A and B are shown apart, each in its own frame.
Chain A
Amino acid sequence: MASSPDLLVVTGLGKTFGPGTHQKEVLRDVHFHVGYNDSLAIVGPSGCGKTTLLLMAAGLLPPTTGEIHLEGESIQGPSRKMAVVFQAYGLFPWKRVAENILLGAQFQKLHVSQEALTAIKRELDIENLDHLYPHQLSGGQRQRVALARAMLLRPSLLLLDEPFAALDLITREHLQDHLLILFKKRKFSFVIVTHNIEEAVFLGRRIVIMDPETHGIGEIIDNPNAGTTGFRTAPDYFSKNMTLRHLIEHPHEKQPLA
């Protein structure tokens, strides 16, 4: 365990796009942190800057203001300690599943043992897909391959940008379960961007609600029971769903329900 209790610390983060008079402020003064073996869900309306926030955290987009620290080190570009799962184009359509899975490890010259490869494929139930191209997979299979590829990099922090948004409800919940199993077994932390309230409550031990008016964070809810077995049918799950829904629909009332 590192001396700092926090894995990821985001301070005063802001982003303004565009030159001169066409400037557009998307994010302003965003603060949050993610602990070890912790999870954070980010929710907010479309266009409020969730993807922008995630890309900056991943070191893929330079922030206009503020800083990001991962395990005490300032993030200036992509880091080997982080892996990202994207909504759509995460897998390369011109590479077979077997090549896609190993791509990150290949770029980073990480050795992946045959056992590790077999294990992650078994865990994610993608054992017989090696020779297929992404377009030959179902949406759920595709995202499981993307998860496997990220896991092979053994990240301390996994960043997911609406990874299950295109999936039907049953597949989506199935993949959420897969993610939680990996999370418990492999002890990483994750940040998931979603526009789905149930998903945020099920997965995020803390839930960040973006406020499009201030371009910052509206509210942060503690949700310590997220990820526990049977949470989907627990009373707390329903009350947290109510709270979150209320906060999203009435963003400027200071007294939440429940």
Chain B
Amino acid sequence: MKNSRWLDYALTIIVLTILWYGASLLLGSQLLPDPLSVLGRLLHAVREEIFWEHTAVSAWRLAAALALAFMTAVPFGLVLGSNERLDRIFAPLIYLSYPIPKIVLLPIILMLFGLGDLGKIILISLIIFFQLLITTRDAVRSLDREVVYALQSLGGNRWHFYRHVVWPVALPGIFTSLRISTGTAVAVLFFVESISTSRGLGLYLIDAWGRADYTTMFVGIIALSAIGIVLYEAFDVMERRLCAWKNR
């Protein structure tokens, strides 16, 4: 399982590199730098402190945004999914706000929370929030009544209900939702970092682009993608660890 996954990644990288190499031969290395020179630049960049500073700032923003979304959306979803009255109150509100592209709130959020880390983190987590909230709520909603009766007949209380029923039932969906969200989160991160910041891989990338330094730009692209992949894989590993009962 694990090994074939590494193999998949290795094969994908090899195939992409070959295609990339071919494309750069066709388009000319002015427009599309060839993978070898990008690799050379990457090996150079990782020895510079500034590259790691950009990477660390971006990784921190992403992790903080995901954590914030998780800590707000999951408890809220667990409660809504198991409390019909609250759900009835909030359902229309969520229904209406879900399709709004939260990215358009960018100016408002940056005005409210400033141009620093906080505004960026809040915007990213807001975009993930709804997806996570709805997945969590619906997982709990789909609970069979008999499960609840079984818990109560065993002497379980409300805390046991959340801890031993609601939480494990919702967890696989939460991880799936987090995994899917990483792509969106990296995209939004790139967007906000390209607009206003003094640090971050988005800036690193846009800055290189502005200087027509396409080789460095590709280093930025690879670094951002790597962060996305690492997060994605981390959620996948956690899901397989914590939701072993789902692996049929």
Contact A90 B150 (CB under 8 A): yes
Query: In the complex, A108 Cα to B151 Cα: how many Å?
Result: 11
Quick one: which of B154, B155, B164, B244 has the most chain A CB within 10 A? Answer: B154
Contact A88 B146 (CB under 8 A): yes
Chain B 218-248, CB within 8 Å of chain A: the 1/0 string?
Answer: 0000000000000000000000000111001
Which B residue sits closest to A60, measured CB to CB?
B149
Contact B149 A104 (CB under 8 A): no
Which A residue sits closest to B244, measured CB to CB?
A133
Given contacts A92-B147, A135-B248, contact A83 B153 (CB under 8 A): yes
Other-chain residue from B146, B149, B164, B168 in contact with A103 (beta carbon distance below 8 A) = B164
Considering the complex, which residues of chain B in the window 162-193 have a beta carbon less than 8 Å from any beta carbon of chain A? Answer: 164-165, 168-169
B144 beta carbon closer than 8 Å to chain A:
yes
Residues from chain B with Cβ under 8 Å of A104 in the complex? 154-155
B116 beta carbon closer than 8 Å to chain A:
no
Given contacts A94-B169, A107-B160, contact A86 B245 (CB under 8 A): no
| Shortest beta-carbon distance from A235 to chain B in Å | 38
Contact A78 B147 (CB under 8 A): no
Residues from chain B with Cβ under 8 Å of A149 in the complex? 154
Residues from chain A with Cβ under 8 Å of B155 in the complex? 78, 80, 104, 107-108, 153
Contact A84 B147 (CB under 8 A): no
Given contacts A107-B155, A107-B156, A135-B248, contact A86 B149 (CB under 8 A): yes
A203 beta carbon closer than 8 Å to chain B:
no
Contact B168 A94 (CB under 8 A): yes
Residues from chain B with Cβ under 8 Å of A80 in the complex? 155
Contact B153 A84 (CB under 8 A): yes
Contact A89 B154 (CB under 8 A): no
Given contacts A88-B146, A89-B146, A89-B147, contact A94 B153 (CB under 8 A): no
> What are some 21 contacts across the A-B interface (CB < 8 A)?
A55-B149, A60-B149, A60-B153, A78-B155, A80-B155, A82-B153, A83-B153, A87-B146, A88-B144, A88-B146, A94-B169, A94-B243, A95-B168, A95-B245, A103-B154, A103-B156, A107-B155, A107-B157, A107-B160, A108-B154, A153-B154
If A83-B154, A90-B150, A92-B165 are given as contacts, then 11 extra A-B residue pairs at C-beta distance below 8 Å, sorted by A number, are: A55-B149, A80-B155, A83-B153, A88-B146, A92-B164, A94-B243, A95-B168, A107-B156, A108-B155, A133-B244, A153-B155
